[in-house]
Structure 1
Amino acid sequence: MVTNLRTCDLTDPLGLETTRPTLSWQLTGPAQTAYHVRVDGLWDSGEVESADQRVVYGGTALTGRTAARWRVRTRDAAGDWSGWSAEARFELGLLDPADWTAAWITHPDWYDEGNPRAGEGRPLPLLAGEFTLTRPIERARLYVAGLGVYVASLNGAPVTDAVLEPPYTDFARRVAYATHDVTALLRDGANALGLALGPGIAHVFPHQDRYMKFYGSKAAPRAIAQLEVTYADGTSDRFGTGADWRATEGPTTRSHWYGGEDHDARLAVPGWDVPGTDRSGWHPATVRPDGTAMLRARACPPIRVTEELPATAKLVATDGTAVFDVGAVVAGWAELRLDLPAGHHLRLLPGDQLDAFGRVIQSKPTTGAPIFSTYVTKDGPQRWHPDFRYDGFRYVEAQGLPGHVGQEALTALVLRADNEHIGRFETSNALLNDIHTIIDRAVRGNMYSVLTDCPHREKLGWLEQTHLLFDVVAYNYDVAAYCRELAVTIAEAQTEDGLIPDIAPEYLVFDGAFRDDPNWGGAMVRVPWQLYRWYGDTSAMETHYDAMRRYVGYLTGRAEDGILGYGLGDWFGLDDTTPVPLVGTWGYWRAARTMAKVAGVLGRDDDAKRYRALTDAISAAFTGAFFRGERFGGGGQASEILALDMGVVPDELVPAALDRLSEAVRTGAITVGEIALPALYQVLGRAGRHESLYGFATSTDHPSYGYQVRHGATALTEAWDGPTRGLSQNHYMLGAIDAWFYRTLGGIGQAPGSNGFRRLLVAPAAPGDLESVRASTATPYGRVSVAWRRTDGEFALEVEVPPGSTAEVRLPDLGLTSHDGPGTAVGERAWEVPAGRWTFGGSR
């Protein structure tokens, strides 16, 4: 009856930092009227009259290393209690800097107190330490962190399948450590822990022969690890990095976050991370003076290999160069699988497109250039991929590869943050399915430890997509814990005067609007609110309220008479008549309006009143500054859309404005960029202009999504005409249509005033010649699915509502004469239903 128990939106997490974690669950039976939670030995909630399926641990504050088991039972409306659920677990990490007795260490050649660039150009370090276990163990935990990228192994085996650790943070303020259960990897007697280091984005050094987005060092390569062992007799031991560790150079001779990685397999150090290896020729590890105050537990899923795509073809360019095609634009690693003698020098160039001669295209506006990795073979069967960086690619040009090597020699290992894939969308229209696929592929390609804009030339966390396309990501992936962590990263980037920069973390300080635009920095206000709306989670709003308030105050300080006169405008728009101040002021209005809502939910009534007044003042200023005759701004689409979204268009002018926009969208004459595009779907969707939106969705002329599909895009591109124009072939910033797919064609939305999908509004549209749709996603209460089909004179709709939710179901107006459905009728074609599977229909 009770299932899917989670702690802080994670399943059985290790290493939590919060001492009052959130506990949540789902139901498989009747709706809940009361709950009873037991955290063994720590807290008993008693029987609580509540329908809440998300509660905060209410016992005494937990302490570091606490391991807990918990379970829950619920009561239904008939007064019957379920049985106790299966047990869930969680465990806290190291909560105090004093809990760390290990030290930060590195290779001596990579540390010079007066030279942050020490080690550049040298092979990457390997660090190893041995320890002995003298009696049977009960459990073992490894707490480990590194800068910039580390790979940890125990007795020659990886301690985790997480890769590219640690995640992006402001490394001077916070470094995320991971906690691993390594009990099964330990052995009686001698054991060895190994740490391989790479520079990552923490240490981007000048690279003379390869592409650099920027260069500079936040932290040179280093690592810290602490292994805590509890023996069966109740005693314990602790082993950590320190002066007794040894260091040597490994076979990776160079790694650059942007430019590539070089590896000479002939230089591999046999047994470097297993016990008993002779390390007498190694150097003593250098203990760095860094403290442990910046270490914080990772609180969201790590990056993992989520797909393997074997090459679909080995192509041969006109000059004979081998080029592998993995069939889709992806982000991750190109893995070589070879059987060759030692000494073959290979150069691998990743790219998204090929030129007329069949060679990989690289240029600064597309992927960055040049980007390449090199590999020198050892003797015999071998596999290799970069360990310390990643690429965006579809094609891999392999220079120096012997001609007899076939397409089986290369496989794409697709990487992303391992947020559960929860969405499904499929229609009777193959083009719409392809559009959904390329958008999803671009989301995957940029879902790393932050949401990046592209996986090759930038690899930076540009913030506008994080909130403008929140729904696109959340319909398809469970990002409750992930986006909560993003909010932490955004708040860390805030400056003393309240500015939220356009990227977070701010590894590179841009100039002007590329650092300061409210439609980028507004993520600080919008993401916590969206977490509440989507998951019913108020914690991010509570945690970051001061940062949110300070940011709106910063915008107010920069505004003149309510107008914010700077910014990037409607980025990548096709209409140069849209005033930049109009777009910036809309972003300011949206932030203020959201703050009013946040303050209201948190019970800060005075603040809510003040922010509502600010919102009204901005609206009035917007109208005064940009309303000319019967149009806003320069009369372009973005100006009208944003004015309609704000509700400042006079009532008598709204129909004409909607007609103009609808006709332009229907005919494919769209000019908006990435800022106004999500608002276009919201404005026209609220107005019921689905036929026009469907016309644009099925267009194949430029500009359109269909144009990209018809011209070979396998991931959404940076520009409407990206496949033929160039630029990045892996950008999701124009992907707003995917939320419209789920919300409007699939009909999966929330009723007004609902949060966390407690009350669903299932109201699918059936525009144009669309014959059927199947859509589903996961909510905090369980899976919601919708499937509809229409034939001549009939419409059938199937809806699944999860336990704990209710739904209002509305059938589209298709001119049918009779409609029927279960539940309580609340309109001519509308019914209210509880949880369950329901069928609705209409006919002539």
Structure 2
Amino acid sequence: MPTNLRTCDLTNPLGLETTRPTLSWWLTKGPQTGYHVRVDGLWDSGEVESADQRIVYDGEPLTSRTAATWRVRVRDGEGRWTGWSPEARFELGLLDATDWSAAWITHPDWYDEAGDPRVGEGHPLPLLAGEFTPAKPVTRARLYVAGLGVYVASVNGEPVTDAVLEPPYSDFTRRVTYATHDVTALLRDGANAIGLALGPGIAHVFPHQDRYMKFFGSQAAPKAIAQLEVGYADGTSERFGTGADWLATEGPTTRSHWYGGEDHDARLEVAGWDAPGTDRSGWRPTTVRPDGTDLLRARACPPIRVTEELAATEKLVASDGTAVFDVGAVVAGWHELRLDLPAGQYLRLLPGDQLDAFGRVIQSKPTTGAPIFSTYVTKDGPQSWHPSFRYDGFRYVEAQGLPEHVGAEAVSALVLRADNNQIGRFETSDPLLNDIHTIIDRAVRGNMYSVLTDCPHREKLGWLEQAHLLFDVVAYNYDVAAYSRELLVGIAEAQTEDGLVPDTAPEYVVFDGAFRDDPNWGGALVRMPWQIYRWYGDTSAMERHYDAMRRYVDYLTGKAEDGILGYGLGDWFGLDQTTPVPLVGTWGYWRAARTMARVAGVLGRDDDAKRYRALTDTITSAFTGAFFKGERFGGGGQASEVLALDMGVVPDELAPAALDRLSQAVLEGDITVGEIALPALYQVLTRAGRHEALFGFATSTSHPSYGYQVRNGATALTEAWDGPTRGLSQNHYMLGAIDAWFYRGLGGIGQAPGSNGFRRLLIQPAAPGDLESVRASTGTPYGQAGVSWQRAGGEFALEVEVPPGSSAEVRLPDLGLERHAAPTGAVAVGDRAWEVPAGRWTFGASR
């Protein structure tokens, strides 16, 4: 029976914008030789001869608000059809600006007709409310809602969703994301109320003097739009939307700044403000803004949610008596207070990742930004509070003004991230490796928001190099099929008319020089569609962004001289100062051109494929001519050799010596490469089978190493190798590329040559050093792929799980063992290598 039915890589999504959604499923048993899909009342595919488990809806044209259920049955290898799967659902949103009858509204104090970027400064954040009474009993209700910069929506005093920090990042001058919610269960007979609380978010970062700001500027002042559509049992419907009949008042949040902090006075809370029947006689009419609805676009990936709650492990007391709460790990999200105090207590809360010698929270501009603090004024009695319109990165919360009797139970961390399903698991017999995986994963979580940020405090920007250089690190651990496509929409929006892709997207602040224009950052626009295709077998991103990708490669060509791209940030954060910036920039240019040739080939753009293959050859020749110096490349440092090896331009007679030098340096922990060359270093050594060197580095605890971070107290990966003792960001995943080697090298989970979407697996685990066991698994478009191996006493045992719809080649590591055993059904294809279909398989080796 097919299972895990998904639409556009989402489970039962509401508010889709695409009129030709992708439908996919898993099998509980394989193989599949045919499928039959029915989208009730809209399309019947008929019986199709195919092994495809990912197809595109090809039925009646879909229109706004279309709600559909669909099922699939499949034919097995013996020609037998399964029964129909359980139903899956999808629903379209509002596809045209004319579908909106609601208007954008705001508080009068937060609107300036001339567009003053400081509008609202000094005013409390607004609350907006409107009441309505359905004419008949409601059988179906949908709320379509958007707001800027951050909104919280409620119906009859209840939140409409557990999504937070809505909407996601976008270029708000070109696109604002709206969400669709089923609010049927929240409505009641008689009067009902919708509430919208607004904050400025990153859309409206006004300048101020007392707190940290990465930048200031406004794309849009706070505003909101909401449209409730209710359906009645008789088939009729009715709409209620934001407009001139709504009312506005000042809320208890007196200030919110995306970077600097949030202030809340609980004494000013308005009881029942979003409930029906509340006396709003003192409220003011909302200002109806003239903005249209043509920028509204449906959300197409999972939102940010609270995914974890960490209670404070202890309450510390600094040398001056200040209370400091430790939640046990560096996280990103909200600090939540739970108190029972009299009214009027003024608290000042400082988040941070480290403590100074006196036990106080450290904040500095290179580390977290400074100063960052929130304030809270208590009301009387039991109460709880957390920021609602911004977030922080922290492990510690310094609470100034807190009465001495308040204990550790008063503070907890609500951990936030984009709610992409966690699909990866990795564990070994070595506790240090497990800890390294944990700190890398914690840093990925801390930066997986509506864009992939590089740290959750001082930056909060979508720097693009990690999005593609560490794509596999994120994808092994989380299902980012829909999320990655949405990231690409924002990257493409940021592209300038001349083809440049800035280093950050959305581009809320324009940086200078290479901090705006570097091919190893902007190259994400070209690399990510290819990576989505390789990982998920999905060509839609390549098709959608093809012209933008081509314009970017052509932009780089226009900047290059004789095949050399002579500018950029170089091997950022590298310890080797001999690496030429043009060498690193030209490598990024080469990767973009090579990827473009591959994309064009897959899409059948044969002329383009030929042109970009020729360009790749030109860059390759130019790279060798410019940077090959005698027997070494560039300045002879590690990054130069790594990138040359990755390009395949090191002469055959010199490649072994280059690999030996790199392997020895890595084994000894003498790594000097920066964040650009680091992923390539692991990939080059993995392809060469140099797992012993990688294992030696992975288990090192001297500087530089991951083990150094673990041994010195890091609970999330830090920005610098010596981050826990040096400072800088304590929640930064740019050095985390080794996590891909954990899965692909130690776990052995990869794809066979020529495979896309994990249709054919290559299971090839390494067993270096004294490592005794590894257990790894990850999700694929066909289901869970897993590996577990153990060795002891001269015996090696390997268990492999191949998901239905896939097949695998399994290769045992060369451990010098004489006897190798394979299960019945495995077909030998070489020494210690077998082909197997889907299923669970056990292999062994012994003396």
Q: TM-score, normalised by structure 1?
A: 1.00
2:5 alignment counterpart: 5
Q: Deviations over 1:733-786 (max 9, x none)?
A: 000000000001000000000000000000000000100000000000000110
How much does 1:140 deviate? 0.3
* Residue number in structure 2 paired with 1:839: 842
Aligned length: 844
> Per-residue deviation at 1:30?
2.1
| More deviation, 801-810/817-826 | 817-826
Task: Return structure 1 stretches of 4+ with deviation > 2 angstroms.
Answer: none
Counterpart amino acid of residue 321 in structure 1: T
Give per-residue Cα distances to partners, 1:81-138, cap 9 Å, x unaligned. Answer: 0000000000000000000000000000110112232211110000000000231111
Give yes or no for contact 1:134–1:188 (8 Å, CA) kept in 2. Answer: no
> What are the residue-to-residue correspondences of 1:262-411 with 2, within 5 Å?
262-411=263-412
Asked if the contact 2:312/2:412 (under 8 Å) is kept, the reply is yes
What residue in structure 2 maps to residue 481 of structure 1? 482
Say if 1:819 and 1:841, in contact at 8 Å, map to a contact too: yes
Rounded to whole Å, the distance in 1 between the matches of 2:805 and 2:161 is: 36
One-letter amino acid of the counterpart of residue 460, structure 2 = K
User: Is the CA contact 1:261–1:389 (under 8 Å) kept in the aligned structure 2?
Assistant: yes
Q: What does 1:260-659 align with in structure 2 at a 5 Å threshold? A: 260-659=261-660
| Conservation of the 8 A alpha-carbon contact between 2:117 and 2:206 | no
CA-CA distance at 1:701 after TM superposition: 0.4
Q: Which runs of 5+ in 1 are unaligned?
A: none
Identity %, equivalent residues = 86
Supply the AA of the counterpart residue of 2:383.
Q
SS of 1:144's equivalent in the other structure is strand
Amino acid across the alignment from 2:86 = A
Give the 5 Å matches for 1:112-127: 112-114=112-114, 115-127=116-128
CA distance in 1, matches of 2:584, 2:694: 22
Letter in 2 for 1:100: W
Q: Is residue 76 of structure 2 the alignment partner of residue 81 of structure 1?
A: no
The question of 1:826 aligning with 2:829 is answered yes
Q: Any idea what SS the aligned residue of 2:532 has?
A: helix
Is the 2:117–2:217 Cα contact (8 Å) retained in structure 1?
no
Offset of residue 835 of structure 1: 0.4
* 3-state SS, counterpart of residue 729 of structure 1: coil
Q: Is the 8 A contact 2:129 2:246 kept in 1?
A: yes
How far apart, CA to CA, are the structure 2 residues paired with 1:214 and 1:134? 49
Secondary structure of 1:649's aligned partner: coil
Equivalent residue letter for 1:419: N
Secondary structure of 2:834's match?
Answer: strand
Aligned mates of 1:550, 1:174 — CA distance in 2: 21
Return the alpha-carbon distance in structure 2 between the equivalents of residues 306 and 812 of structure 1: 38
Aligned to 2:290, the other structure's residue is in SS state coil
User: Is residue 322–residue 397 contact of structure 1 (8 Å, CA) maintained in 2?
Assistant: yes
**Which amino acid in the other structure matches residue 842 of structure 2?**
T
User: What's 2:36 paired with?
Assistant: 36
1:133-282 superposed matches below 5 A: 133-282=134-283
Q: Give the whole-Å Cα distance in 2 for the aligned partners of 1:309 and 1:692.
A: 37
Query: What does 1:690-709 align with in structure 2 at a 5 Å threshold?
Result: 690-709=691-710
Letter of the structure 2 residue corresponding to residue 830 of structure 1: A
Indicate the RMSD between aligned Cα atoms, in angstroms: 0.4
The answer to whether the 8 Å contact 2:312/2:326 transfers is: yes
Tell me the distance in 2 between the aligned counterparts of 1:64 and 1:619.
50
C-alpha contact (below 8 Å) 1:578/1:639 kept by paired residues: yes
Whether the 8 Å CA contact 2:117–2:204 is kept in 1: the answer is no
The answer to whether the Cα contact below 8 Å between 1:24 and 1:55 also exists between their aligned partners in 2 is yes
Secondary structure of 1:788's partner? strand
Q: What is the CA distance between 1:707 and its match in structure 2?
A: 0.4
Q: Deviations over 1:525-571 (max 9, x none)?
A: 00100000000000000000000000000000000000000000000
Aligned equivalents of 1:117 and 1:186: distance in 2?
38
Whichever residue aligns with residue 131 of structure 1, its letter is: F
Shift of 1:508: 0.4
Partner residue in 1 for 2:690 = 689
Once residues 464 and 61 of structure 1 are traced to their aligned partners in structure 2, the CA distance between those partners, rounded to angstroms, is 39
Q: Secondary structure at the match of 1:402?
A: coil
Partner of 1:22: 22
Separation in 1, partners of 2:846, 2:271: 73
Taking the aligned partners of 2:395 and 2:194, their CA distance within structure 1 comes to 36
In structure 1, what is the Cα distance between the partners aligned to 2:516 and 2:723?
A: 25
- TM-score, normalising length: structure 2: 0.99
Distance 2:490 2:822 in 1: 47
Q: Is the 8 A contact 1:207 1:259 kept in 2?
A: no
Deviations 1:766-817 (A, max 9, x none): 0001000000000000001100000121000000100000000000000000
Q: Which runs of no fewer than 5 residues in structure 2 stay unpaired?
A: none
What is the DSSP-based 3-state SS (H/G/I as helix, E as strand, rest coil) of the residue aligned with 1:133? coil
Q: Which residue in 2 is equivalent to 1:68?
A: 68
Cα distance in 1 between the residues matched to 2:584 and 2:117 = 42
